Structure 1
Amino acid sequence: SPPPSLTYPAIPAKRHVPLSNSSTNTTSKPLSCEFIRIELADGMTLADMESSPSTPAHTIESFPEQLAKVKEAGHEIGLHGYTHEHISGLSATQQRDVLAKSIDVLTSFTGLKPKGYTAPAWDTSKELIPLLEEFGIIYDHSFMHHDLQPYFAPDGRHSWVETDVKKEASSWMKPMTKIKPSEIVEIPANWHVDDWPPLQPMPGRAGTHGFISTHELEKLWLEQFDYAYEEYDTFIFPMSIHPQVSGKPHVIKMHERIIEYINKHEGVEWMPLGDMATEFLEGRIAGVEIEGGVDN
C-alpha cells in the first residue's frame, strides 16, 4: 500500500452571487502545501493558498516540525487514519479506536477538532459513516456516488450487501435495502482526478503507472472540468494531490497549467473541503440526493 502521505484536494466551485443586477466572483484560492512550490502567473504560489491536507496521525506524531508549517499556514488538516491503514480489513472496534486516536492527535496538534475524514486509499466500510456521525465529524471525502456534486452520504449499515462466499449463496443473493441518508456531507472522491494512479510507479501493483505524459493527463483532467463547467451551475472538482507525486518537476509544471486554465473561468472559487461542506449545508451548492435500494 502507499506510504503514509498527505493528500491535497482542491475544490473549485462555480457559483454566481447576484449584486444589484450583476455578479461577483471570488478570487480563486487553490490547493497548497510547503512541499509543492508552484509559481502562478499572478506571482502567487500554492504555499500562499488554502487547502485540506488529509494527514495520517502517525505522520503528525512523527514529523511535527514539518506539519507545523502546514498548520501555521492556516490549512485545514483532516483525518486520514493512523498509519494509512485500509479500514475494510479492520474490525468495527479497531476502526473506532483508530478514529478516536486520530481525532485526539489532530485536535491536540491543531487546537481544533477536525471537521472531515478521508479514508486511506479511499477504502471504506459499512461502519465508517455511522462512526463519523458518532464522533461528530461533518464531512467525508471517500465515496464516489457522484463525480461532481456533494450529497449526504448513505448510512451503509442499512444498505450494504456483503458477498460471503463461505456461506450459502442464498444468504447474500438479495437486493440492497432502501438507501437512507446520514448527516455526513460527502465531498466525493474521484480516481480520474487523482495524481497517484497515473503518475506514481508501484511495481507489481495494478492500476498504477508512473510514466505517462503529463500533457495527456492534463487533457483528461481539463476535459472533465470543461464538461462540469458547461453542464452545471454549481459543482465541485475534487483533484487529489500527493506531494511525493505532484512534487516532481514535470508534474509541477502540469499543475501550473491546470490552475491557470481553471482560473480563467468566471465564477470559479477554490476552497478547503470544510468550507465546501458548509456551502452545501447552507444551500449555495445544490448537490444531489443519492437514491437506490428497495423496501423490504
Structure 2
Amino acid sequence: MTGSSVNWPGGARIAVTLTFDFDAETLWLSRDPANAQRPGTLSQGVYGARIGVPKILETLKEAGVPATFFIPGWTVENHADRAEMVLKAGHEIGHHSYSHAWIDPAFPEQEVEEMERGLDALKRVLGVVPKGYRSPAGETSDNTIRLLAKHGFLYDSSMMAEINPYRITAPDGSSIIELPWHWSLDDAPFLLFSIKTPRPIFTNSHIREVWQDEFREIHRWGGYYNLVMHPQFTGRPSRIALLREMIAFMRGFEGVWFATCSQVAEAWATSQS
C-alpha cells in the first residue's frame, strides 16, 4: 500500500491512540483470589494507581496529547481519586470489565455481569457512560459484540484482524466498529513478570525498536497505530521516559494525528459514509 486507506482528519497519514489499561490490583485479584491475602503481590497494582497514573498524566500534559484509559469498575470504585484525575485531565475513559476477569465463552452470564457491573461503576462513581470497550487480555466470546451493540457502544478494541479500524458483525447481525490492537504494541508481554509466570523483563531499547519499527511501516502504509500500555508497567521511571521518547519520535513524521479512541472511531465511520 502506498497511500492512506482512511480519510483521517486534516489529511493525516496515520492516526495514533495512546491507550492505558488502568487495571490496578485487578490484574492479580482476577487471576488468583488468594492474592487478596498477598499485599506484596497487589502492591504492583497499587503502584500503577499511586505513581503510574499521575506520572503518565503529567507526561501527556507536557506533550499536549490526548489518551484513552480503559478502567475496570473495581478500579473506579477503589481508586476513585485516580480515575477522577484522568477524567479531569480531559482524557477519554473506556470500559474494561468490572474485575478484569477473562471472558469464558462457556459462562455467558458471567460476561453479562462483568459488563453491567462495570458500566454501573463508571456511571455511579464518575458519571461516565463509555463509548468504547476493551476486553481483559483480548479475551472475547460470540456474545461480546452483541452485548456491546445492546448497550450502545460506539467501538470495541479487543480484536486483531486488521491494521485500520473495521466493522465486525455478530452472528445475530449486530455490529460495532473495531479498533484493532496487537500484542507487539502492548507493554505487558515485555514487562509483566511474576513468580508464577517468570519471563524476561526487556530493556527500553528492545521495546523501542519493536514499537518504532511498527510505527514506521504503518505510517508508510497509511493507517492506525494503537499503543497499549498499563500504568503498573509504563508508569515505571524509565518507561515514562520511553513514553516521552515515543511521542517525540512519532511527532517527527508528517501527518500524525494523536486522538482518543472515540475520535478515531468517529472519523473512520465518517470516512466510510
TM-score, length of structure 2 as denominator length: 0.77
Alpha-carbon offset, residue 29 of structure 1: 8.8
Q: Distance in 2 between matches of 1:14 and 1:36?
A: 30
1:76 aligns with 2:92: yes
Alpha-carbon offset, residue 94 of structure 1: 1.9
Partner of residue 141 from structure 1, selected from 130, 142, 157: 157
Over 3 Å counting, the alpha-carbon distance change for 1:58 and 1:257 in structure 2 is same
Once superposed, what is the RMSD of the aligned Cα atoms? 2.9
Structure 1 SS opposite 2:104: helix
Alpha-carbon offset, residue 202 of structure 1: 2.1
Q: Distance in 2 between matches of 1:254 and 1:187?
A: 24
Q: Distance in 2 between matches of 1:203 and 1:89?
A: 28
Partner of residue 221 from structure 2, selected from 216, 231, 239: 231
Instruction: Determine the structure 1 residue equivalent to 2:10.
Output: 17
Aligned residues of 1:152 and 1:184 also touching (Cα < 8 A):
yes
Q: Which amino acid aligns with 1:130?
A: R
Alpha-carbon offset, residue 35 of structure 1: 3.6
Partner of residue 129 from structure 2, selected from 78, 92, 113: 113
Q: Distance in 2 between matches of 1:45 and 1:25?
A: 24
Structure 1 SS opposite 2:264: helix
Instruction: Determine the structure 2 residue equivalent to 1:293.
Output: none
Structure 2 SS opposite 1:237: strand
Q: Which amino acid aligns with 1:17?
A: G
Instruction: Determine the structure 1 residue equivalent to 2:62.
Output: 45
Structure 2 SS opposite 1:86: coil
Q: Which runs of 5+ in 1 are unaligned?
A: 1-12, 19-23, 159-179, 287-296
Structure 2 SS opposite 1:45: helix
Alpha-carbon offset, residue 92 of structure 1: 1.5
Instruction: For residues 223-246 of structure 1, give each alpha carbon's deviation from its aligned partner in whole angstroms, at most 9, with x where no partner exists.
Output: 1111111122xx111111111101
Q: Which runs of 5+ in 2 are unaligned?
A: 1-5, 21-52
Q: Distance in 2 between matches of 1:102 and 1:200?
A: 24
Q: Which amino acid aligns with 1:184?
A: I
Q: Distance in 2 between matches of 1:55 and 1:29?
A: 16
Alpha-carbon offset, residue 78 of structure 1: 0.7
Instruction: Determine the structure 1 residue equivalent to 2:56.
Output: 36
TM-score, length of structure 1 as denominator length: 0.71
1:117-266 equivalences in 2 (<5 Å)? 117-146=133-162, 148-155=163-170, 157=171, 182-205=174-197, 208-210=199-201, 212-232=202-222, 235-266=223-254
Structure 2 SS opposite 1:153: strand
Q: Distance in 1 between matches of 2:241 and 2:77?
A: 32
Structure showing the higher helix proportion among its residues: 2
Q: Distance in 1 between matches of 2:7 and 2:258?
A: 9
Q: Which amino acid aligns with 1:271?
A: A
Instruction: For residues 1-54 of structure 1, give each alpha carbon's deviation from its aligned partner in whole angstroms, at most 9, with x where no partner exists.
Output: xxxxxxxxxxxx994636xxxxx899x9966852426658xxx525x5321110
Instruction: For residues 116-165 of structure 1, give each alpha carbon's deviation from its aligned partner in whole angstroms, at most 9, with x where no partner exists.
Output: 1100111111111111111111110101111x21001231x47xxxxxxx
Among all aligned residue pairs of Structure 1 and Structure 2, give the percentage whose two residues are the same amino acid: 26
Over 3 Å counting, the alpha-carbon distance change for 1:29 and 1:123 in structure 2 is closer
Q: Distance in 2 between matches of 1:216 and 1:14?
A: 32
Partner of residue 77 from structure 2, selected from 34, 39, 61: 61
Q: Which amino acid aligns with 2:218?
A: A
Instruction: For residues 92-116 of structure 1, give each alpha carbon's deviation from its aligned partner in whole angstroms, at most 9, with x where no partner exists.
Output: 2221122112112112233231101
Q: Between 184-193 and 88-97, report the one with greater CA deviation.
A: 88-97
How many residues get paired?
236
Q: Which amino acid aligns with 1:152?
A: R
Q: Distance in 2 between matches of 1:68 and 1:17?
A: 31
Q: Distance in 1 between matches of 2:13 and 2:161?
A: 29
